[in-house]
Amino acid sequence: MRLLGKTARKAGIGLVSAMALSTALSTAAQANELTLCWAAWDPANALVELSKEFEAQSGITMKYEFVPWPNFADRILNELNAGGKLCDLLIGDSQWLGGSAENGYYVKLNDFFDKEGIKMEDFAAAAVNAYATWPKGTPNYWALPAMGDANGWFYRKDWFENPEIMAEYKAKTGADLAPPKTWTELKQIAEFFQGRQINGQTVYGAAIFTERASEGITMGATSALYPYGFKYEMTPGKYDMEGAVNSAEAVAGLEMYKAIYDCCTPPGYTDSYMGEGLDAFKSGQVAMMMNWFAFMPGMAKDEKVGSVTGFFVNPAQNIPASTLGGQGISVVANTDNMEGALNYIKWFANPDVQKKWWALGGYAVHNAVLTDPGFKDSQPFAGAFLEAMNQVQDFWQEPAYAQLLQAMQKRLHDYVVAGNGTAKEALDGLIADWTVVFEEEGKL
């Protein structure tokens, strides 16, 4: 997830070198407490359990500030902007890296990584690029990859494997009923289930993201846009958006997303995101649900539907692609316990700790975990996760990302949900919106 904060960019304290700060504090008594800030969700609970080992080894007491996702960005970005001391460690969205680096909110970790032998080559390349680096494409590290995530899909295995339903689908479409490999197949399956009676209940094809206020519809629609060929720039780093954002392929992807919204979602599904999707799936309303891999461990264990739930990677179309979620863990420059915070980063980077993180339900992206011969069989969603992390694409990580995201949220919701204009007009308008932002930033 990468939720939108309303907090404006703010010039802040100067950039900080982790090694300089660590040296300056080396003679001070190490504080016996650290506060880690993150969103309130299942992976955070797993991290609390994991961190008991750090507490035992270090003698440091871990405290936690876990904020519900809808309030996470505003709460924490306001804290950073105000120069507060709530967070010593922060697992923040990748979109925050640009602003937090340029405003001095995060510690630059290069010297610390070199000193401790922590190598970014030991982590999945896509995760390092998305969760740790700023500017993009440079070896400047402001976080350690902490929580891999991507947008994936959940489906009702019991419905897909029901002999009568399978036979009816085959007779109607000529294809076997199975998790879709393309968006075309996904729409066909969703149409087949829409309005069907199963177990005495009317069911619907798919729960997708339509939420307007923060990031939901952008994270959902890009899951269709990316596989069709949507790009943010014709040339990386040049902000030349014409012909990329509004390409014929991008238009087709956005039209597909709207078509699925129009044909195959539950009634009244106009402003829905993670929670609404989970509710729809658990209550037996939908055959398929778009949602983050982060929720798959919990769903697999769900007492009601866990045994009948399957998982699949985001379908391809012209190319394989998945929308990136996930976060890195950063040291907040304003901490009063720099030594302790850096020690936590060192501990968390350990391959054995990363393996325990995966086993507890966290999404480790250390290669010691991902390349383990038994990884794909370790969880029913592990293979799909590995595939997704090898094809992820991400939203702008610009310091002005909040304005960029607000513009996309509005343009997509107006078209997909409200039915205003065409897909081409929505994407043309988005280029106009983003051009204004980048001109104000001095990038154009």
Q: Provide the 3-class DSSP secondary structure of residue 23.
A: helix
Per-residue pLDDT tens digits for 292-303: 999 999 999 999
Query: Does 433 reside within a domain?
Result: no
Query: Does 434 reside within a domain?
Result: no
The answer on 113 and 164 residing in a single domain is no
What pLDDT does 397 receive?
Answer: 85
Query: Does 207 reside within a domain?
Result: yes
What pLDDT does 196 receive?
Answer: 98
Last residue of one domain, picked from the residues 393, 414, 432: 393
Residues of the chain with pLDDT below 50 are 4-30
Three state DSSP letters for 174-243: CCCCCCCCEHHHHHHHHHHHCCCEECCEECEEEECCCCCCCCHHHHHHHHHHHHHCCCCCCCCCCCCCCC
The answer on 334 and 302 residing in a single domain is no
The answer on 106 and 22 residing in a single domain is yes
Here the tokens at position 248 are 């014929």
Per-residue pLDDT tens digits for 416-426: 999 999 999 99
Query: Does 411 reside within a domain?
Result: no
The answer on 329 and 245 residing in a single domain is no
Last residue of one domain, picked from the residues 305, 323, 341: 323
State the residue range of the domain holding 160. 151-323
Distance between CA atoms of residues 146 and 329, nearest Å:
6
The answer on 262 and 157 residing in a single domain is yes
Distance between CA atoms of residues 123 and 117, nearest Å:
13
Cβ-contact 423, 412 below 8 angstroms: no
Distance between CA atoms of residues 348 and 38, nearest Å:
15
Q: Locate tokens 């090898």: which residue? A: 390
Cβ-contact 204, 193 below 8 angstroms: yes
Please provide the distance, in angstroms rounded to a whole number, between the alpha carbons at the two ends of the chain: 28
Distance between CA atoms of residues 193 and 189, nearest Å:
6
What pLDDT does 12 receive?
Answer: 31
Q: What is the CATH number of the domain that holds 353?
A: 3.40.190.10
What pLDDT does 336 receive?
Answer: 94
Cβ-contact 376, 383 below 8 angstroms: yes
Give, in order, the Cα–Cα distances in Å from 55 to each of 50, 62, 382.
10, 7, 29
DSSP-derived secondary structure for 286-322: EEEEEEEGGGHHHHHT-TTTGGGEEEEPPPBSSS--E
The answer on 184 and 45 residing in a single domain is no
The answer on 54 and 143 residing in a single domain is yes
Q: Locate tokens 């959902």: which residue? A: 220
Query: Does 236 reside within a domain?
Result: yes
What pLDDT does 1 receive?
Answer: 56
> Over the chain, what is the mean pLDDT?
92
What pLDDT does 25 receive?
Answer: 37
Distance between CA atoms of residues 162 and 167, nearest Å:
9
Per-residue pLDDT tens digits for 172-199: 999 999 999 999 999 999 999 999 999 9
Query: Does 437 reside within a domain?
Result: no
Last residue of one domain, picked from the residues 393, 416, 439: 393
What pLDDT does 276 receive?
Answer: 97
The answer on 378 and 345 residing in a single domain is yes
Our count of domains for the chain comes to 2
The answer on 71 and 51 residing in a single domain is yes
The answer on 298 and 195 residing in a single domain is yes
Query: Does 303 reside within a domain?
Result: yes
Cβ-contact 327, 147 below 8 angstroms: yes
The answer on 306 and 215 residing in a single domain is yes
**Greatest alpha-carbon span in the chain:** 76
What pLDDT does 137 receive?
Answer: 80
The answer on 125 and 155 residing in a single domain is no
| Long-range contact set of residues 373-381: C-beta below 8 Å, sequence gap at least 24 | 379/296, 379/297, 379/300, 380/296, 380/300, 380/310, 380/311, 381/152, 381/293, 381/296, 381/297, 381/300, 381/311
Query: Does 431 reside within a domain?
Result: no
Distance between CA atoms of residues 187 and 124, nearest Å:
32
Distance between CA atoms of residues 341 and 109, nearest Å:
12
